[in-house]
Amino acid sequence: MSEPAPEASAQAALKFVADGQTLGLGTGRAAEAFVRALGARVADGLQVRGVPTSERTEALARELGIPLTTLAEAGRLDVTFDGADEVDPALDVIKGYGAALVREKIVAASSDQLVILVGAEKLVPHLGARGRLPVEVIPFAETLAHARLAELGCPAERRSDPSGAPVITDNGNLVLDARVSKIAEPGDLDRRILSVPGVLGTGLFVGMADAVVIQDGEDVEVRQR
């Protein structure tokens, strides 16, 4: 069965938007649905600026006529809207299946609020339930990162596209998908992985989400930290 279209959660997330704000625009299916909903509001006269987290989101926002700026120009953002691959009961999340994790985390950390949009199927009892933790590394550090991740009990594989070529992030780096199960201490694991030279970021977003908009069919629930 296919996942329901995320338009209902995108419309609910618009309630966090106010005229004059500068918004972080995430990457992925749910985030793109939000960007499309935002574009319709902009066409009706809403005055906002966006900071995209990926080249793909930037292209979509420009197509929809959403004014864009850079993080350097904006400084602090009001709200970032993004999707997630897992959300646990504490509203901690795993992101990065779309390979934009580092830019997404930078934009989220630059924002006063982070609003996550997910389908109910992304809710998990604990982080790591789907068995995969994305890690972005510079190419020169790949061998070291593989070794250290294995030592941490998270053996990893380089992510490849359908042709077998390495997936390259917008930053020009590789994504390693670490195998995980139940992550008992997400913050501790994040710090341990980040201590490996050449690792730029993990998909663990711990203590960052202020609200999660959950769509279950056409029903929408908002959970706030």
Positions marked catalytic: 104
List the 174-179 sheet strands across, edge first. Answer: 156-158, 174-179, 132-137, 199-202
Structure tokens at 184: 């008992």
d(CA 183, CA 10): 29
- Which long-range contacts does 149-156 make (Cβ < 8 Å, 24+ apart)? 149/176, 149/178, 149/193, 149/196, 152/189, 152/192, 152/193, 154/178, 154/179, 154/180, 154/189, 154/193, 155/179
Q: Residue 189: name the closest of 176, 179, 199, 202 by CA.
A: 202
d(CA 154, CA 176): 10
Q: Is 104:70 a contact under the CB 8 Å cutoff?
A: no
